[in-house]
Structure 1
Amino acid sequence: MIFSKKANTDSYSYWVRLASSFALFAAFCMILVKIWAWYRTDSAAMLASLTDSFFDVAASVINFFVIRYALMPADDDHRFGHGKAESLAGLAQAAFIFGSALLLVLHSVDRLKNPIPLQQPMLAVYATLFTVVMTLALVGVQRMAIRRTRSVAIRADSLHYQSDLLMNLAVLLALWLSTQGYLSMDAWFAIGIALYLMWGAKGIVQESANALMDKELPESFSEQIMALATAHPKVHGVHDIRTRQAGRTIFIQFHLELDDNLRLLEAHDITVWVENKVKDAIPEAEVLIHQDPVSVTAESPGSAA
């Protein structure tokens, strides 16, 4: 489902601000711990985790500011609001992910050619366990925010930290295998993590691009709008439904088929009734309705809903 019926502007703002702020705090804590652990152990897998955290910090900083910009109300220069800034942030984060993954592959290939025994591997284990606990807490907050807001930017940011959970478990396994004499496993795990990140970034790019290109929302969404509009006994039909989403705002346009002989005031009242019905079901909707005489609609080919 693209939207949340219980969402409202205040709760949307609260949850995306909370998630983005906590992500920034958690990322800085984890990166400091990982720098220390990598410096003491010289582990490729730990460097993989550290590199990803560097880009997570950059992505979280972008989210912190972009989300606040996206929450700004519409103004004279942006009549449809600033919601698409979230999708731009998603593309930027995907670029960060691809970049970090490529760097990991290059470093790991070099480590495969020149394997090096780890120094003080238990320090890396303790650092990784710390980041697992911190990441679990952050992902929990982000999931609550996503359920209440469906924010593309928060969803993209959450992907980083969900991959961190798998990454940290992989780092723990790589550290253990390295202490057992399998030095190359440290680098192989880093390469596997990089490929996983690239795959995840693909989904972020697709979702962000769909929003920026105003892709139509699912057919079930249009069917719901039609059912809401035709619930009024004097509405003969609905056609030309158009939908798109930018940030939290869902833009809806459609034509309402009304009796030819209705007075303008009555047609207006029916239209307002339909608009309010749609907004009650979809609180974040911006609705634009055009009234058509039913006789004109019947004469026009391809006017069916």
Structure 2
Amino acid sequence: MEDRFSSGKKVAILGIAVNIVLLLLKLTAGYSSGSQAMIADGFNSMGDVFASTVTLLGSIYAAKPKDADHAWGHGKAEYIASMIIGFSMVVMAIYTITGSVDSLSSGAELEFSWWLVGVAGTTIISKFILYCYCIKKSKKFNSVLIKANAQDHRNDVFVTSGTLAAIFLSMAGLYFMDGLIGLAISAWIIYSGVIIVLESARVLMDAGVGEKTLEEYKKRVMEIDGIDHIDSLNTKPVGAKSILVVKISVDRDMTVIKSHEIGKKIEEELLASYPELDDVIVHVNPDLPHEEGRHCQL
């Protein structure tokens, strides 16, 4: 059966194959015509090849089972891979900025050709198909790594559309637009890369789920009989899933066996109700006097 990791591998292999072809087409067309926008687009495809390779390696490593050194598995490898993709996009974009600046300062003229138009059209169509495929898989498996690839393909649709606009504007003598669009392409890639880095960093820095989701978990826990109150409830991300850590208070005279049964029921019911949870850890306290307003920390 296909899972998030095998799907990530398929997305990566498909991306590598398509992007290598587009890379060769774009750089050949760009350098032969002097189009800085197409050259920038070509280097963007070079970054896409790297991104797809990182996706492949990240999916393979993240699929490894739990071991003695990784009690919660290797799922965070997806986020490390996504962060690498984001940084690579930024580096490539900065490199292409120099070519666009040189084009503007030198007043270089773009030589129009239908070859450029054909390459741009092929890129837009193929990248749109890849985006649709990847975004569907990312939603199905809630994979940040596949989502990063989908965003990368989507960006390419907009980027190459800008390149196509520069090609046609050159027919009207607006050659400077090639350099300007090349700069705009680079800026867009930098923005997209930074967003991917920030999203990945959030999980790697153990940011928990939102307050609304915590409230939902809290209500579900309090539906279980025998709980006096919740002392605290927090989550810790482990790859695509989270660990829920719950501290509850029960009647101080309750037997250890009974309190253990309550804790086990919380674990079983929440794991059954919320597939995004990888584990539920329950700590049971006796209901001792406490300061008002401090017994439930979310």
For normalisation by structure 2, the TM-score amounts to: 0.92
Matching of residues 54-133 of structure 1 within 5 Å: 54-119=46-111, 121-133=113-125
Matching of residues 231-270 of structure 1 within 5 Å: 231-270=223-262
Q: Structure 2 residue aligned with 1:299, among 265, 290, 293?
A: 290
Query: What's 2:19 paired with?
Result: 27
Cα 1:71–1:239 shift into 2, 3 Å: farther
How far has the Cα of 1:221 moved from its partner? 1.6
Q: Structure 2 residue aligned with 1:140, among 129, 132, 140?
A: 132
For structure 2, the residue ranges without an aligned partner over 5 or more in a row are: none
Q: Distance in 2 between matches of 1:208 and 1:115?
A: 40
Letter aligned with residue 194 of structure 1 = S
1:40·1:120 contact (CA, 8 Å) conserved in 2?
Answer: no
Q: Distance in 2 between matches of 1:132 and 1:90?
A: 23
Query: What's 1:46 paired with?
Result: 38
CA offsets, 1:183-213, max 9 Å, x none? 1111100001111111222212211211111
2:112·2:170 contact (CA, 8 Å) conserved in 1?
Answer: no
Q: What is the DSSP-based 3-state SS (H/G/I as helix, E as strand, rest coil) of the residue aligned with 1:82?
A: coil
Query: What's 1:176 paired with?
Result: 168
1:154 aligns to 2:146 (yes or no): yes
How far has the Cα of 1:49 moved from its partner? 0.6
Q: Distance in 1 between matches of 2:126 and 2:2?
A: 27
CA offsets, 1:1-41, max 9 Å, x none? xxxxxxxx963234333323322232223223223322432
Q: Distance in 2 between matches of 1:234 and 1:15?
A: 43
Q: Distance in 1 between matches of 2:175 and 2:137?
A: 41
1:290 aligns to 2:277 (yes or no): no
For structure 1, the residue ranges without an aligned partner over 5 or more in a row are: 1-8
CA offsets, 1:157-191, max 9 Å, x none? 22221111111110110000012211111110000
Q: What is the DSSP-based 3-state SS (H/G/I as helix, E as strand, rest coil) of the residue aligned with 1:257?
A: strand
Q: Which of 1 and 2 has higher RCO (CA within 8 Å, sep 6+)?
A: 1
CA offsets, 1:56-111, max 9 Å, x none? 11111011111210121211111122122222212211211111111121110101
Cα 1:176–1:206 shift into 2, 3 Å: same
Q: Which runs of 4+ in 1 moved over 4 A?
A: none
Q: Which deviates more, 186-195 or 81-90? A: 81-90
- How much identity, in percent, do the aligned residues show? 23
Q: Distance in 1 between matches of 2:16 and 2:236?
A: 30
Letter aligned with residue 159 of structure 1 = Q
Q: What is the DSSP-based 3-state SS (H/G/I as helix, E as strand, rest coil) of the residue aligned with 2:237?
A: strand
Q: Which deviates more, 183-192 or 213-222? A: 213-222
How far has the Cα of 1:261 moved from its partner? 3.0
1:222 aligns to 2:238 (yes or no): no
Q: Distance in 2 between matches of 1:184 and 1:210?
A: 40
2:112·2:167 contact (CA, 8 Å) conserved in 1?
Answer: no
2:112·2:171 contact (CA, 8 Å) conserved in 1?
Answer: no
How far has the Cα of 1:224 moved from its partner? 1.3
Q: Which deviates more, 49-58 or 205-214? A: 205-214
How far has the Cα of 1:120 moved from its partner? 5.0
**Number of matched residues?**
295
Q: Distance in 2 between matches of 1:181 and 1:143?
A: 39
Q: Distance in 2 between matches of 1:152 and 1:269?
A: 36
2:8·2:55 contact (CA, 8 Å) conserved in 1?
Answer: no
How far has the Cα of 1:50 moved from its partner? 0.3
